[in-house]
Amino acid sequence: MKYGYFDDAAREYVITRPDTPLPWINYIGCEGYFGILSATAGGYSYYKDARLRRITRGRYNNVPMDFGGRYIYVRDNANGSFFSPSWMPVRGKLDAYECRHGMGYSIISGKKDGIAASTRYFVPMGENLEIWDLTVTNERSEAADLSIFSVAEFCLWDAQDDATNFQRNFSTGQVEVDDEVIYHKTEYRERRNHFAFFSCSEKLEGFDTQRENFLGAWRGWEDPKAVVDGKSDNSIAYGWQPVASNHVKLSLKPGETRRITFVLGYHENPKTEKFDPPDSQTLNKKYVKKTIAKFRDHGAVDAAFAGLKANWDTLLGKIQVKTPDIHTDRMVNVWNAYQCMATFNMSRSASTFESGIGRGLGFRDSNQDLLGFVHMVPERARERILDIAATQFASGGAYHQYQPMTKKGNNDIGGGFNDDPHWLVIGVAQYLKETGDYSILDEQVPFDTTPGTEVPLYEHLRRSLQYALDNIGPHGLPLIGQADWNDCLNLNCFSDEPGQSFQCLKGATDGKTAESVFIAGLMVLSSRELAGIAKEHGKPEDEEFYLSTSQKMDATVRQHGWDGEWFLRAYDANGHKIGSKENDEGKIFIEPQGFCVIAGIGIEDGLARKALDSVNTHLATKHGIVLQQPAYTHYYIELGEISSYPPGYKENAGIFCHNNPWVIIAETMLGNGDQAHDYYTRICPSAREEISDLHKTEPYVFSQMIAGRDAPSHGEAKNSWLTGTAAWTFFAATAYILGIRAEYDGLRVSPVIPKAWEGFSASRTYSGVVYDITVKRAGPGNSVLLVADGKPVVGTVVPLPRDGRKAVKVEAVLS
Ligand code: BGC
Ligand code: NOJ
């Protein structure tokens, strides 16, 4: 069953009923000001950091799940009835409802008793504010006397403290109201120099800034006293819970439409100019007044919206494809690319499933996010790489996370996740192939963000590999440390106390035995990538060294990491095998099968084929490929968190979508386009739209997990949006199935598509040159004959034009 449809031409997903199985959200903002926005106008906003600079409040694990947001009430003053065009929070029956989630905006519309109201929510480019652009139409045959109420609830900035420290926070709230604008300035009197504001394009009938006055005692968002009475209280918050609510009266003739724009914004004053006059306690509003005045004009609002659209046209225009498969097209051209931007911006911090107060930016996550993003905004990728590298330790190890606001490593979690450093090499290699910007390798970057410790970025990459070489276990495989890619395989933790962090617990072992075959595969790849970087950087000795490092690890994996039918997963702290036919549970894991093949291990001698066949036999389901089998039925202290989940969920035999594209890429490397695309389709949200009532999460973005076959809810997805699945599936589809990928010497065109496809076309901007590519199938295989601008190309890489032309026409014939 579906809850909406794709409007592909408009690049929108149209939700046609508000009671979706879970909140179906969108994100607004893509620079500094961000918001989560659900299809029923729920969600919250923040500036840069969802924990430390929260602008509006979110309540965790709420009932209903999506409650609290950017609400509008339309009241008929003739009889006192009212509704919310977004259905929530009033939840009355609407005569019509629709939400269009688009690129950085959502338009939520509702109709009741002949009054239609539609709100376009978005964050203009270059501004730290969001616009709620409301249009109200009287479709009745007689005049309507209406009241419009808007409301947002402020968070007292630090979202964690806001959610817990009431003894203080109920006594700190402060606002100012000036020229009908509400200013939220809690803690501004002391150490903050930032505030929020809420303004309206129309003359106000009244306002409220104290929640209790707006809602009334013992009432909720669904029937606020101000709305029921048709009258605001003009309250001024002093402590308690500051809100921003406006009341506007509208008299509409039959058929008349009026527009009201609300603006919620954030501003930082210079520390020396906090007050105006300087010796007062009055906010200095001089810098924001211009902005507020600007967006009172509807023309400025429309221009800002056009600017946002143009920005997304440019970003998405970098890759556009036309294939025989609608799901591939809409994911690649629109939604998957869009999701990559969200994961790049939010990492894993703020979503329906991430509270925004927990995690910072992950070292491994952010490096992988680059894979899906670097072609869109290379300058931001550059900055991100340098920020990540600056949190590396001199040993080459890394903090597992860092905070986006301070850009410092997160001490609560620390380091010792031994896969982390390899991802930096892989992220940088991708950046270099895409941009050719070798100057980044000479950038001076500190260790542990400590001034005075700077070395060139290239040296950071060398230390990454050095760390790996310094942490080799008894079989010659990499030691796992706290965990590898699988945060829940905790081989050194032995946790037996509730509440202990599986990831952070140390001391149960000396850490010198448990080894990871997954990291071994990753290392075969990362050292080969570093060899490639060394070559481009003019360091032939390094190149040779890293190539031989890669080959040695490849040999070690064959010797100690092969189980007969598939790659082993690991050795535990007692030296026992994990992911082996010898185990009763957890005999085979997906990660080493996918990644060892990506690294090229066993492609020539058939081990790779065997491993992928085993994946198909033991792990593949119709809803995607599960992480391991058989699921762990009880807790194994020597394995940690993985065995803490009920079978079929998360890392315990769930379909952990992030690693499915590894198998997809691996299948393309073995030339199997049918199998690759089949696996792609199984987890592809658009292809699962028809089963939305089972799948439950948004059909336009990938989810981290789909319940595996051991769970009663097999096929049900969770943790949508913020997942490494976004970048990896985008990369798998574009770079490996469609086969268009950046290399040091040009753009490779080497598709491995299904046999039934007659071909496809694509436009791909690479290093500022637009490659217009047409692929035609002449036979069932994957051999490619390339012609670029009428001239045959040797091999499968089309170099950049030497004469500075900005367009290349590529014709590819597959046979
Ligand atoms: C989750 C993992 C996550 C880890 C680290 C675990 O509880 O299951 O998916 O990666 O925590 O945050
Ligand atoms: C989620 C984490 O963000 C990611 O880094 C990790 O690889 C997966 N969980 C698997 O455990």
Atom of ligand 2 nearest to the CA of 364: 5
Q: Which of 295-304, 354-363, 548-557 has the lowest mean pLDDT?
A: 354-363
Length of the chain: 815
Q: Kindly tell me the sign of the dihedral angle through the C-alpha atoms of 748, 749, 750, 751.
A: positive
Ligand lying nearest the CA atom of residue 658: 2
CA dihedral 544, 546, 550, 553 (to 10 degrees): 110
Q: How far apart are CA 29 and CA 719, in angstroms?
A: 20
Atom of ligand 2 nearest to the CA of 487: 11
Report pLDDT for 358: 84
How many H-runs (helices) and E-runs (strands) does the chain carry? 20, 42
268 Cβ neighbours under 8 A, 6+ residues apart: 193, 194
419-434 exposure pattern, b = at least 16 Cβ within 10 A, e = fewer:
bbbbbbbbbbbbbbbb
Ligand 2 pocket check for 485: Cβ under 6 Å: yes
Rounded distance from Cα 491 to ligand 1 centre (Å): 15
Atom of ligand 1 nearest to the CA of 651: 8
Rounded distance from Cα 744 to ligand 1 centre (Å): 35
Annotate 506-558 with DSSP letters as a single string.
--SS-SSS-EEHHHHHHHHHHHHHHHHHHHHTT-HHHHHHHHHHHHHHHHHHH
499 Cβ neighbours under 8 A, 6+ residues apart: none
Residue 4's φ and ψ, nearest 5 degrees, are 175, -160
Q: For residue 732, what are its two tokens?
A: 């798998």
The residue type found at 120 is: R
Minimum CA distance residue for ligand 2 atom 5: 365
760 with 323: CB under 8 angstroms? yes
Closest CA to 662 of 472, 485, 432: 485
Residue in the structure block whose two tokens are 């924001």: 288
| Cis bond upstream, residue 277 (ω within 30) | yes
Q: For residue 151, what are its two tokens?
A: 């409301």
Report pLDDT for 360: 80
Tens digits of residue pLDDT in 519-546: 999 999 999 999 999 999 999 999 999 9
Q: pLDDT band for position 406 (50/70/90)?
A: confident
Say whether 470 sits in a helix, a strand or coil: helix
Q: How far apart are CA 115 and CA 136, in angstroms?
A: 7
- Our mutation pick for probing the ligand 2 site, out of 658, 662, 703, 719, counting the most ligand atoms within 8 A of Cβ, is 658
Residue 751's φ and ψ, nearest 5 degrees, are -70, 145
Minimum CA distance residue for ligand 1 atom 3: 487
**Across the chain, what does the average pLDDT equal?**
97
Ligand lying nearest the CA atom of residue 718: 1
Q: How far apart are CA 213 and CA 294, in angstroms?
A: 30
Closest CA to 485 of 526, 513, 450, 451: 526
Ligand 2 pocket check for 488: Cβ under 6 Å: yes
Atom of ligand 1 nearest to the CA of 704: 9
157 with 187: CB under 8 angstroms? yes
Report pLDDT for 448: 97
Q: How far apart are CA 760 and CA 776, in angstroms?
A: 7
Ligand lying nearest the CA atom of residue 649: 1
Ligand lying nearest the CA atom of residue 627: 2
Report pLDDT for 184: 98
Closest CA to 658 of 480, 486, 528, 531: 486
Rounded distance from Cα 483 to ligand 1 centre (Å): 11
Tens digits of residue pLDDT in 703-742: 999 999 999 999 999 999 999 999 999 999 999 999 999 9
The angle formed by the CA atoms of residues 673, 675 and 679, to the nearest 5 degrees, is 115
646-650, long-range: CB within 8 Å, 24+ apart, which pairs? Answer: 646/711, 647/708, 647/710, 647/711, 648/707, 648/708, 648/709, 648/710, 648/711, 648/712, 648/713, 648/714, 649/705, 649/707, 649/708, 649/711, 650/488, 650/705
Atom of ligand 1 nearest to the CA of 348: 12
Ligand lying nearest the CA atom of residue 483: 2
Closest CA to 255 of 112, 140, 109, 96: 140
417 with 483: CB under 8 angstroms? yes
DSSP state letter for 350: B
Q: For residue 742, what are its two tokens?
A: 């950046």
752 with 782: CB under 8 angstroms? yes
610 with 565: CB under 8 angstroms? yes
Q: pLDDT band for position 549 (50/70/90)?
A: very high
Tens digits of residue pLDDT in 47-66: 999 999 999 999 989 999 99
DSSP state letter for 733: I
Rounded distance from Cα 682 to ligand 2 centre (Å): 21
Give the H/E segment covering residue 422. Answer: helix 420-435
346 Cβ neighbours under 8 A, 6+ residues apart: 27, 34, 50, 354, 721, 722
- Our mutation pick for probing the ligand 2 site, out of 419, 487, 643, 718, counting the most ligand atoms within 8 A of Cβ, is 487
Report pLDDT for 728: 98
Minimum CA distance residue for ligand 2 atom 9: 487
Rounded distance from Cα 357 to ligand 1 centre (Å): 15
Ligand 2 pocket check for 651: Cβ under 6 Å: yes
Ligand 1 pocket check for 488: Cβ under 6 Å: yes
Ligand 2 pocket check for 362: Cβ under 6 Å: yes
**What Rg do the C-alpha atoms of the chain give, in angstroms?**
28
Residue in the structure block whose two tokens are 């199997």: 672
697 with 657: CB under 8 angstroms? no
Atom of ligand 1 nearest to the CA of 645: 8
Neighbours of 289 (CB within 10 A): 14
Rounded distance from Cα 372 to ligand 2 centre (Å): 17
Minimum CA distance residue for ligand 2 atom 3: 365
Minimum CA distance residue for ligand 1 atom 5: 487
Rounded distance from Cα 348 to ligand 1 centre (Å): 10
Atom of ligand 1 nearest to the CA of 359: 12
- Our mutation pick for probing the ligand 1 site, out of 363, 368, 487, 703, counting the most ligand atoms within 8 A of Cβ, is 487
Q: pLDDT band for position 403 (50/70/90)?
A: confident
Ligand 1 pocket check for 487: Cβ under 6 Å: yes
439 Cβ neighbours under 8 A, 6+ residues apart: none
Ligand 2 pocket check for 685: Cβ under 6 Å: no
637 with 496: CB under 8 angstroms? yes
Q: How far apart are CA 398 and CA 447, in angstroms?
A: 9
What is the pairing mode between strands 717-720 and 175-178?
unpaired
Ligand lying nearest the CA atom of residue 347: 2
Residue 139's φ and ψ, nearest 5 degrees, are -95, 10
pLDDT (average), residues 196-213: 98
Q: For residue 667, what are its two tokens?
A: 């299948």
Minimum CA distance residue for ligand 2 atom 7: 485
Q: For residue 394, what are its two tokens?
A: 């001199």
80-94 exposure pattern, b = at least 16 Cβ within 10 A, e = fewer:
eebbbbbbbbbbeeb
Q: pLDDT band for position 441 (50/70/90)?
A: very high
Q: Which of 487, 542, 554, 572 does the annotation list as catalytic?
A: 487
Rounded distance from Cα 487 to ligand 1 centre (Å): 6
Catalytic site includes residue 487: yes
pLDDT (average), residues 365-369: 97
The residue type found at 587 is: K
Task: Provide the percentage of residues in the chain whose pLDDT is more than 70.
Answer: 100
Report pLDDT for 404: 80
Is residue 223's pLDDT more than 90? yes
Closest CA to 423 of 549, 532, 519: 519
Q: Rounded to 5, what percent of the chain is helix, strand, coil?
A: 30, 25, 45
Q: For the whole model, what pTM was predicted?
A: 0.97
- Our mutation pick for probing the ligand 1 site, out of 354, 359, 488, counting the most ligand atoms within 8 A of Cβ, is 488
The residue type found at 578 is: I
- Alpha-helical (H) ranges within 224-294 are 225-229, 286-294
582 Cβ neighbours under 8 A, 6+ residues apart: none
Q: How far apart are CA 177 and CA 163, in angstroms?
A: 25
Is residue 304's pLDDT more than 80? yes
Rounded distance from Cα 485 to ligand 2 centre (Å): 6
Greatest alpha-carbon pair distance for the chain in Å reads 84
Ligand 2 pocket check for 487: Cβ under 6 Å: yes
Ligand 1 pocket check for 650: Cβ under 6 Å: yes
Atom of ligand 2 nearest to the CA of 485: 7
